Amino acid sequence: PCAAGSDLRGNLHPPQSGSTLSVNALKRFLLPEGWMLKGSIQLRPYQIEGVNWLVRCYEVQHGCILGDEMGLGKTCQTISLLLYLTKKITNKERFLILCPLSVLSNWKEELERFAPGLSFVTYIGNKEERPKLQQNLKEQSHFHALLTTYEGSSFSSPFPFLYEAHRLKNQSSLLYKTLSEFSVGFSLLLTGTPIQNSLQELYSLLSLIEPDIFPREQVKEFVEYYQAIEKESEPAKELHNLLQPFLLRRVKSEVAAELPKKVEVVLYHGMSALQRKYYKAILMKDLDAFESETGRKVTLQNVLIQLRKCVAHPYLFNGVEPEPFEIGDHIVEASGKLCLLDKLLSFLYAGYL
């Protein structure tokens, strides 16, 4: 084994069996008076085991990754963890939930749905608004969780972290470096794809939750040692044992085979005339084609990203939407995707889908 592997194995401190909470005790907690999940919602057995594992990780204060396949209820398990900790361990503990802006509203809805007794504060705003928001936070002493976006992570926080790991797989990113500087006792990462593209991405997540055990500078040795292993080889078993205290990964076929399989239907639709105009302009790098009535232009820094924006909706470019800005059919008609969606919604409303 490489030196990195030896160092990692030598520094591991897995949870002790004595800290394990019984499943029955956890069941009794999840539905007590005042803390019942709204609608008497009960967790599935594998979800209870997941919360049990998360509590164990918190008790021994080592970071962890909940890497269940999408659709198995990572958010629900995380909220159950918060309920347990705020009730059983300490009433003074607060938690920081860090997520992309695109799913922040979903987190708010899930917190309100599963845990109406859990108080939380949403921290979101532009650069000018954030100082006032931070002052408001200091004045609000009674809340259990702070919900914010990656952009809101610029201020230092003593709170334990719970964050969705979509943008945390690159050690070179500014966000990763910023979060790495924070000193917290416990970190939980949520991701449906812990090993999606490379071992380097996995190591980045491990290094974020346990930098002392998985030093950033040892990523190269880790990748070189484990990248060519066979599934049934000794190094593969070694990697499995190495990850076991830090990563919990379940898939639907193992724990929820009764759930219907995901069906993906791809529908093709052409672009609108406006989209075709700007799509061609992007390919030709014709900046003048983006000049708006106000004289502003769009900077094309990345052609592929700009093409994706164009096929989604041309109004994503500054100056393309006609002024005065008004809600109307033109918003739908400008995008081929929205035209198709508009038709599908009509069928859905009529009960055909």
- Per residue in 19-57, pLDDT (tens digit) is 333 444 444 444 333 334 555 667 888 888 888 889 888
165 and 298 belong to one structural domain: no
Distance between alpha carbon 318 and the CA centroid of its chain, in Å? 28
Q: How far apart are CA 97 and CA 105, in angstroms?
A: 12
Structure tokens at 97: 């939930």
The whole-number average pLDDT for the span 177-203 is 76
What is the average per-residue pLDDT within 260-282?
Answer: 89
Question: Has residue 292 been placed in a domain?
Answer: yes
Residue 351 has pLDDT above 50, yes or no: yes
Q: What does pTM read for this prediction?
A: 0.66
Whether residue 192 is found in the same domain as residue 65:
yes
Residue type, 63: G
Residue 338 lies inside a defined structural domain of this protein: yes
Q: Are residues 226 and 327 in the same domain?
A: no
What percent of the chain is predicted at pLDDT more than 70? 66
- Among 255, 286, 303, the domain boundary falls at 255
Backbone torsions φ then ψ of 98, nearest 5 degrees = -110, 125
Of 255, 289, 324, which residue is a domain's last? 255
**Confidence band of 274 (pLDDT split at 50, 70, 90):** very high
Quickly state the pLDDT bin for 82 (edges 50, 70, 90): confident
Residues 285 and 230 in one domain: no
> Which letter does DSSP use for residue 147 in this model?
E
Cα separation, 276 vs 268, whole angstroms: 15
Write the DSSP string, 244-257: TTTEE---HHHH-T
- Flag whether 264 is in a domain: no
Last residue of a domain, one of 188, 223, 255: 255
Q: What is the CATH number of the domain that holds 56?
A: 3.40.50.10810
Question: Which span out of 61-65, 282-286, 309-313 was modeled with the highest average pLDDT?
Answer: 309-313
Q: Are 237 and 338 contained in the same domain?
A: no
Do residue 205 and residue 337 come from a single domain? no
Please state the rounded mean pLDDT for residues 74-83.
87
pLDDT at 275 exceeding the cut of 90: yes
Question: Does 268 fall in a domain?
Answer: no
298 and 319 in contact (C-beta within 8 Å)?
yes
Is 345 found in the same domain as 218? no
Range of the domain at 211: 3-255
Domain check: are 122 and 225 in the same one? Answer: yes
290 and 233 in a single domain? The answer is: no
Q: Is 12 a domain residue?
A: yes
Nearest to 179 by CA among 239, 74, 98, 84: 98
**Do residues 210 and 324 share a domain?**
no
Q: Which residue has the higher pLDDT, 157 or 183?
A: 183
In a domain, residue 159? The reply is: yes
Whether residue 262 is contained in a domain is answered as no
Which residue reads 């490489």 in tokens?
2
- Whether 112 and 151 share a structural domain: yes
Q: pLDDT band at 339, cuts 50/70/90?
A: very high
Task: Report the range of poorest mean pLDDT among 11-25, 56-70, 240-254, 264-278.
Answer: 11-25
Q: Would residue 19 count as lying in a domain?
A: yes
Q: Are residues 126 and 49 in the same domain?
A: yes
